[in-house]
Structure 1
Amino acid sequence: MNELPAIVTQAPYAAFLLEPSGRIADCNAAAAALFGMAPAELCGRQFVTLLDPFSIAKAQTMLAQTIHNGGVQHWELVHRRGGAAPLLLGYTTWPIRDADGAITGIVALGLDLGPTVALTAQLAETNQRLESALKQLERAHADLKAAQTQLVQSEKMRSLGQLVAGVAHEINTPLGYVANNLAFLAERLPALRTAPTDELSWRDVADAIHESQIGIERIAAIVRALRAFARPDEAQLVPADVNEGLASTVRMVRAVSGPRIVIREEYSDVPPLLCHPGELNQVFLNLLMNAVHACRGAGTVTVQTASDGNAITVTISDTGIGMEAATIARLGEPFFTTWPDGGGTGLGLAISREIVTRHGGHLHFQSEPGRGTTVKVALPLQRGDP
């Protein structure tokens, strides 16, 4: 047999019929077109004469394996084409036998791998561009996270600045009677040296020392609350007592809320929450300050905590002026504020909502004009990474 099978002749792939010696006995039109020759020009030539020198030994091995093993699959050979670019074909071969089983020829069906190689290169280039874009996105995300952290800290410092006057007054009161008691002790000590058995004077001294200790503890508690609020959070989440964070924040807000604002604290037993406690304290401060502001100088703010085993809910309600539905719909928009001009940046609730969302929770507002506002902060006890 010295002709290709008819079904192979019509194939869109390059097909050669090779003699066992490697001479080309026949080829189809697709093969001739790839090499820019007529089929008659290819027939009679040794197959290896079409190959790049580095592929000749591989082609000879391909023919030998076809004869001994019954064929090969996906063998890649590089062909020379005169002045044209080299041609890479992937070959599948099988032997043709006569009636006695002797091999009379080898069919070599070659698939042009040029488009595949080009596509692979294009995909590699695209992948490289995507990796570069991903790295840029990662850098941008890191920059955004850094800016976000800075924004939260800046807003925290702004809120802290609003509290300074009230906190100073809160510290000044116990500091005043500590100073008065020290002056009293300094005055009484000389008399006690001359009358060491005067029990009444010693009782007065003990009372003064006790009052001073209470005052010092009040000052220390305020300082601890300030430090806990102002300290930046660590990168890692830590277990924290939500009640403790609320209590320290309420202490600072109470110092600036005025005598006619009553802040009621109703804490339930809640489990520790894995969180960034400083960030949550920032949320509580923003919500508490808004509640006090809504009371317009007189009213009640109630702080409650509860847990159902799946989440901790912090509820802050006030008896203030309330809000319309249109206002509630805009809460959390950057730079939108219900405070008078110059009273707020419009970032407090936007930052609070973002912090709560990153903790896997959500904020819910319920309000009517003249009927006060209730805000619920739901914080899941178990969640995925933020």
Structure 2
Amino acid sequence: MTTLEASKTIALLEKKLQRALAGKAHAEDLLESRARSLYKANEELCEALEALKKQEVQLIQQEKMASLGQLSAGVAHELNTPTGYAKSNIETLKMYLITLLAYQDDLEKMAPDEQAMLALKSSYDVAIIQDDIPDLMDESLCGLNKIASIVTELRNYTHIDNEEMVPEDLNLVLDQAINLAQSSFKHHATLNTQLGKLPKLVCSGNKLCQVFLNLLINAGQAIEKLGKIDIISSFDERNIYVTIADDGMGISAQNLRNIFDPFFTTKPVGKGTGLGLSISYKIIQQHKGKIAVESTEGKGTRFTISLPFKPEFA
């Protein structure tokens, strides 16, 4: 090879090397640009996911408040009744105490005459008052305790942060839901409970209370005149089962396919948001459980929830 040919070959190789280097730099620029785009897309995706989580929490809370709104009239009545008799009893106790003080004052002014003392005691009905005071106090305390219980259950139910996963007795969660929901159907539906002894379940008691409350409200609304609602809890070696059934109007086969869809509802405007069963379905999924429904128009509906539990808490 001549010197001229060698020079041409070297020049050609230098050009190829320059093109290769330029291509490499371009590829690196593309990779860097793609990496920046992916990083930005990942940030946007994380932000969108966080926003969705916040929206989910808000929807769950809105559904809680919607359920609470449906219960408000009954809850107000439940609070008003024990408040009324506690107030009445305390007013009566006040009158009794005034009478007893007046009796004691007159007694002290009297000469030690036994017959006169007995006559005075009878004139003030002291014996009746003495017998009535313990009963009034017990009834008043019962009423005030009932008020405190209802307020505590409402506060726990509406508390947005009360969702930690801890071992719970599911029967106690059911009791809480029953206490909150019963005022909405107690005048037209009989409640039958068969709560078996259950192992502890690691769960969010507040979320599961929302599920049971939704099902109980729906059961009460499905009964147009007089009917019954059955609640059964049991377990086997793997799952805890909760069944809530009513003998109300039932659900058509067409609607049954859609009842867990968000915003689907057959209720009149103002009676439901269409989110209760959808949120309930998701809550059960979050607990690795299942929710099944059977219904016949004109005969009633049965929801069965199965929740897996850990044997160490049995």
TM tier, smaller: 0.7 to 0.9
Higher relative contact order (CA 8 A, sep 6+): 2
TM-score relative to the length of structure 1: 0.68
Offset at 1:215? 1.0
* Aligned partner of residue 342 in structure 1, secondary structure: coil
Hey, what does 1:146 align to over in structure 2?
Answer: 54
Hey, what does 1:156 align to over in structure 2?
Answer: 64
Give the partner amino acid of 2:99: A
Hey, what does 1:375 align to over in structure 2?
Answer: 303
Hey, what does 1:294 align to over in structure 2?
Answer: 222
Give the partner amino acid of 2:49: H
Offset at 1:116? 6.7
* Contact residue 314 and residue 378 of structure 1 kept, 8 A: yes
Runs of 4+ residues deviating >6 angstroms:
114-117
Which is further off, 189-198 or 254-263? 189-198
* Aligned partner of residue 18 in structure 2, secondary structure: coil
Give the partner amino acid of 2:220: V
Select 2:243's aligned residue among 280, 296, 315.
315
Distance 1:192 1:235 in 2: 52
Determine if the alignment matches structure 1 residue 171 to structure 2 residue 82.
no
* Contact residue 79 and residue 147 of structure 2 kept, 8 A: yes
Determine if the alignment matches structure 1 residue 269 to structure 2 residue 235.
no
Distance 2:43 2:4 in 1: 52
Distance 2:265 2:295 in 1: 16
* Contact residue 299 and residue 319 of structure 1 kept, 8 A: yes
Distance 2:65 2:260 in 1: 19
Offset at 1:291? 0.6
> 5 Å matches for 1:229-248?
229-234=157-162, 236-248=164-176
TM-score relative to the length of structure 2: 0.82
Select 1:184's aligned residue among 86, 92, 102.
92
* Aligned partner of residue 83 in structure 2, secondary structure: helix
Distance 1:362 1:39 in 2: 81
* Contact residue 233 and residue 278 of structure 1 kept, 8 A: no
Select 2:146's aligned residue among 215, 218, 237.
218
Select 2:7's aligned residue among 41, 45, 48.
41
Offset at 1:201? 1.9
Give the partner amino acid of 1:240: E
After superposition, the CA RMSD in angstroms is: 2.9
Report percent identity of matched pairs: 34
Hey, what does 1:58 align to over in structure 2?
Answer: none
CA distance 1:185–1:133, shift in 2 (3 Å): same
Higher fraction of helix: 2
* Aligned partner of residue 285 in structure 1, secondary structure: helix
Give the partner amino acid of 2:230: T
CA distance 1:161–1:342, shift in 2 (3 Å): closer
* Aligned partner of residue 302 in structure 1, secondary structure: strand
* Aligned partner of residue 330 in structure 1, secondary structure: coil
Offset at 1:211? 0.9
Distance 2:283 2:186 in 1: 28
Higher fraction of strand: 1
Segments of structure 2 that go 5 or more residues without pairing to the other structure are 105-120
Number of aligned residue pairs: give it. 290
Hey, what does 1:135 align to over in structure 2?
Answer: 43
Offset at 1:190? 2.4
